């Protein structure tokens, strides 16, 4: 399986490219790539300014279909991957849990999508996708239906529910992302003082 880091977002709520924000002494993109490199033989970054990411030493691929959001990023990653399936993750999740990722990968056989559900919401930017999804993703993009889950009814989807996830990551920190300066501040506080800060994954 290939690890895909989705870094093509506009980061409009953060006001700066989230991938390069410092967290715990490292840029978020460095932490994410490092976690995936430890798990997958191939790691790709999907981003529209490849030279900026060159120092990371992994292949960077611009969107094949411009202005198609995260769904387009998944499409690009699946198209470029050497393997038949990919674990796709956003670049703004500072507490990624390797054991949770491994668990999702282990559940992938026989499914087109393996996606966690946290706080009642699917987490499609922390999920496994098979190349068999490609025609259905392309169909959605061509119909301007860019919400990722819109194509799910057309494929075989395995949903991993919260109890199974909490058995591995009790506070579900692996699903926390930082979209705004306030969320970043809270995540930094939680990192410094884990016992006194409760973070909840983004809805």
Q: What is the pLDDT of residues 78-101, one digit of tens each?
A: 999 999 999 999 999 999 999 999
The strand pairing partners of 59, in sequence order, are 44
Instruction: Choose the weakest-confidence range: 3-17, 112-126, 176-190.
Output: 3-17
Rama region for 85: left / alpha / beta (φ>0; ψ in -120 to 50; rest): beta
CB atoms within 10 A of CB 119: 12
Contact 160, 115 (CB under 8 A): yes
163 or 191: which leads in pLDDT: 163
pLDDT digits (tens, 9 = 90+) for 5-62: 999 765 545 555 788 888 888 899 999 999 999 999 999 999 999 999 999 999 999 9
Burial bucket for residue 109 (CB in 10 Å: 0-12, 13-18, 19+): exposed
Task: Check whether 203 has a pLDDT greater than 70.
Answer: no
Dihedral sign, Cα of residue 140, residue 143, residue 146, residue 151: negative
CA-nearest of 69, 67, 61 to 2 is: 61
Q: What is the mean pLDDT of residues 98-108?
A: 98
| pLDDT score of 197 | 45
The larger pLDDT score, comparing residue 9 to residue 200, is at 9
Cα–Cα distance, 49 to 63 (Å, whole number): 10
Alpha carbon distance 52, 60 (integer Å): 9
3-state secondary structure string, 147-179? CHHHHHHHCCEEEECHHHHHCCCCCCHHHCCCC
Domain 2-196 part of CATH 3.90.550.10: yes
Kindly state the helix (H) or strand (E) to which residue 61 belongs, with its residue range: strand 59-61
Residue of 193 and 14 predicted with greater confidence: 193
Q: Name the average pLDDT for the chain.
A: 90
More confident residue, 194 or 135: 135
Contact 201, 176 (CB under 8 A): yes
Which residues, 6 or more positions from 148, have their beta carbon under 8 angstroms from its beta carbon? 70, 71, 74, 124, 125
The tokens 């490292």 sit on which residue? 26
**CA atoms in the 13 A half-sphere facing the CB of 7:** 31
Note the pTM of the prediction, 2 decimals. 0.90
């Amino acid at each position: 399986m290939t690890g895909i880091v989705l870094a093509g977002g506009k980061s409009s709520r953060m006001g700066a490219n989230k991938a390069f924000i410092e967290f715990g002494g490292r840029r978020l993109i460095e932490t994410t790539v490092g976690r995936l490199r430890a798990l997958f033989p191939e790691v790709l970054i999907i981003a529209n300014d490849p030279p900026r990411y060159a120092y990371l030493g992994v292949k960077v691929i611009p969107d094949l279909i411009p202005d198609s959001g995260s769904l387009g990023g998944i499409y690009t990653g699946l198209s470029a991957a050497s393997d038949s399936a990919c674990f796709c993750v956003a670049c703004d999740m500072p507490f990624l849990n390797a054991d949770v990722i491994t668990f999702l990968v282990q559940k992938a056989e026989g499914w087109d999508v393996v996606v966690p559900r946290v706080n009642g919401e699917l987490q499609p930017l922390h999920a496994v996708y098979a190349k068999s999804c490609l025609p259905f993703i392309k169909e959605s993009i061509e119909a301007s239906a860019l919400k990722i889950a819109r194509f799910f009814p057309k494929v075989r989807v395995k949903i991993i529910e919260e109890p199974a996830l909490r058995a591995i990551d009790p506070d579900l920190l692996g699903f926390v992302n930082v979209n705004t300066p306030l969320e970043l501040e809270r995540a930094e506080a939680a990192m410094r003082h884990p016992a006194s800060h409760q973070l909840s994954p983004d809805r």
